[in-house]
Amino acid sequence: MKIALLGYGKMGKTIENLAIEAGHKIVYKSGTTSEIGKLEDAEVAIEFSTPEAAVSNILKCFELQIPVVCGTTGWLENYSSVINSCKECNGSFIYASNFSVGVNLFFSINEKLAKLMAPWKEYSVSIEEIHHTEKKDAPSGTAITIADSIIAQSDNLERWSLESKKDHSLRISAKRIADVKGTHTVTYESDVDEISITHKAKSRIGFAKGAILAAVFLKDKKGLFTMQDVLDL
Ligand SMILES: NC(=O)C1=CN([C@@H]2O[C@H](COP(=O)(O)OP(=O)(O)OC[C@H]3O[C@@H](n4cnc5c(N)ncnc54)[C@H](OP(=O)(O)O)[C@@H]3O)[C@@H](O)[C@H]2O)C=CC1
Ligand SMILES: O=C(O)C1=N[C@H](C(=O)O)C[C@H](O)C1
């Protein structure tokens, strides 16, 4: 498979190594100012850049009819306009706040736990995410996906918030600690006990492997898909 890497930072480089090992070819890569190869030569693009750059990179691929797998977080205020452009251009698109298989299983566990806990009003729920200090967005895209799923099951929570003790808000605490790849914990707490589930990434390899799986899945397809489609969850 001929791959374009839009964004060649920590994730772009990890994906490049794994993709080459798996027999794929990197035909294009881009950063803020540098470009190597021709985007038009790619059969699929994998986008891990910055919240500011993601939307224009995705739209460029739609125009060129190149399927796009996007892992960049922090641009979701533009999500519906990107989806509309994908439909107008008859493009192919997968966005996931987290491509690792483990986190996608964690999403399913989180949804089931949220359903189970919803009637038990003595428990209050909160989320903690911890990432490296270079991360640009807070809360993490993964924490937002987890929060949206809990809120959908709740008849009390209406939104998430980074602030503590806001009415009808699900608290997300975002911590930045050097070199942490990504840890997410959901905690339900009552006066008498606590229930927690945690996913901890040990490296970036899980994210990168999932993004390559998604690219193989999307290469010859048209339309909008999710990581649940890729993993058949
Ligand atoms: N969905 C998932 O599974 C995961 C998502 N992420 C997300 O992916 C994104 C990237 O993460 P990470 O690789 O760690 O970040 P890095 O900061 O290491 O890399 C981002 C890269 O984007 C490049 N860039 C900036 N502007 C552009 C542009 N206009 N076009 C192309 N590239 C550009 C930068 O280039 P330069 O170096 O030249 O400035 C930089 O190298 C983040 O939003 C992060 O949250 C991260 C891990 C997993
Ligand atoms: O920036 C990161 O590193 C990560 N970002 C994603 C997010 O915002 O959820 C996924 C992963 O946790 C690593």
CB burial of residue 42 (10 Å; 0-12, 13-18, 19+): buried
Distance between CA atoms of residues 96 and 116, nearest Å: 25
Range(s) of the domain holding residue 15:
2-99+205-231
User: What does pTM read for this prediction?
Assistant: 0.97
Q: Establish whether residue 81 lines the binding site of ligand 1, counting it when its CB lies within 6 angstroms of any ligand atom.
A: no
User: Could you tell which of 11, 75, 97 is best to mutate to test the pocket of ligand 2, judged by most ligand atoms within 8 Å of the CB?
Assistant: 97
The pLDDT score that the predictor gives to residue 231 is: 97
Q: Establish whether residue 60 lines the binding site of ligand 1, counting it when its CB lies within 6 angstroms of any ligand atom.
A: no
91 and 23: one domain?
A: yes
In this structure, the number of other CB atoms found within 10 A of the CB of residue 44 comes to: 23
Instruction: Please pick, among 2, 135, 181, 219, the residue that the annotation labels catalytic.
Output: 135
ipTM for the assembly: 0.99
- Closest ligand by atom to 182 CA: 2
113 and 126: one domain?
A: yes
196 and 211: one domain?
A: no
138 and 81: one domain?
A: no
117 and 94: one domain?
A: no
Q: What is the pLDDT along the chain (233 residues), one digit of tens a residue?
A: 999 999 999 999 999 999 999 999 999 999 999 999 999 999 999 999 999 999 999 999 999 999 999 999 999 999 999 999 999 999 999 999 999 999 999 999 999 999 999 999 999 999 999 999 999 999 999 999 999 999 999 999 999 999 987 889 999 999 999 999 999 999 999 999 999 999 999 999 999 999 999 999 999 999 999 999 999 98
32 and 86: one domain?
A: yes
The pLDDT score that the predictor gives to residue 166 is: 82
- Give the CATH number for residue 39: 3.40.50.720
37 and 71: one domain?
A: yes
Q: How far is CA 30 from the centre of its chain?
A: 20
Asked about 199 being catalytic, the answer comes back as no
CA 130 to ligand 2 center in whole angstroms: 9
Q: Establish whether residue 30 lines the binding site of ligand 1, counting it when its CB lies within 6 angstroms of any ligand atom.
A: yes
Q: How far is CA 213 from the centre of its chain?
A: 14
Known binding site for NADP(+): residues?
A: 29
148 and 122: one domain?
A: yes
126 and 170: one domain?
A: yes
CA 182 to ligand 2 center in whole angstroms: 6
The pLDDT score that the predictor gives to residue 165 is: 79
Work out how many domains the chain is built from and give that number. 2
- Give the CATH number for residue 173: 3.30.360.10
10 and 62: one domain?
A: yes
Distance between CA atoms of residues 100 and 78, nearest Å: 23
The pLDDT score that the predictor gives to residue 233 is: 86
196 and 185: one domain?
A: yes
